[in-house]
Amino acid sequence: MLLQNSEKLVMIGDSITDCERKRPYGEGLFGGIGKGYVSLVDALIQSTYPERGIRIVNMGTSGDTVRDLEERWASDVEALKPDWLSIMIGINDVWRQFDQPTIQESHVYPEEYEATLRELVLRTKPQVKGIVLMTPFYIEPNKDDAMRRRMDEYGAIVKRVAEETGSMLVDTQAAFEPVLRDIYPATLAWDRVHPSAVGHMVLAKAFLKAVGYTYG
């Protein structure tokens, strides 16, 4: 696995990452790391590689867009001096275009999304050993669904930024596809966005595969 002894991984994003994590920093006892995929990543790494003493910090914040990440980047990423960084953002950038279509100032359109994400990655890349970019997703198998189609556009942006910056990529939408062949979307996420425990495990497994985790 890529993460080595005493290294720190910061995982930042929106509510999918947040999952009731502790403030100001998502770590520590009594569910401090949250209840979602970050906690599963932490549990699997700690149980398989306990001797490495890897520190994982959850810095997700519900409702965030990439615009919000930029505003808190200095305090919530750079000040923590991570060795590794994982970013999953974009769901709200898309969702606000659908659930509040008339409030256009809350929308983050593709051009801003791509420029901001690229700037944050390039700004941080020299300070860390590696960056993992996780695509936004929509738990809907119908690619012609309007929000799924738009989410795929933002996912393509993440893939492009990952390739251009030499970052690792986790295609979360692709990770959900085999599960959605047999499980109805609302079973995985009633709103097709906030996953059940099964959905969070899909995300955790996809992340762990990207960083070379092997099950002991």
Collect all residues with Cβ–Cβ distance below 8 Å to 203 and sequence separation of at least 6: 16, 36, 37, 40, 88, 134, 172, 175, 195
Q: Is 83 considered catalytic here?
A: no
Strands 84-88 and 8-13: parallel
For residue 189, what is the DSSP state? -
Instruction: Find the catalytic residue in 62, 68, 194, 196.
Output: 194
- Determine whether 191 is an active site residue: yes
Strand partners, 57: 10
User: Which of 113, 124, 134, 115 lies closest to 77 in space, CA to CA?
Assistant: 124
Catalytic pick among 15, 62, 106, 196: 15
For residue 194, indicate whether it is catalytic.
yes
- Catalytic one among 6, 47, 75, 191? 191
**Residues that are catalytic:** 15, 191, 194
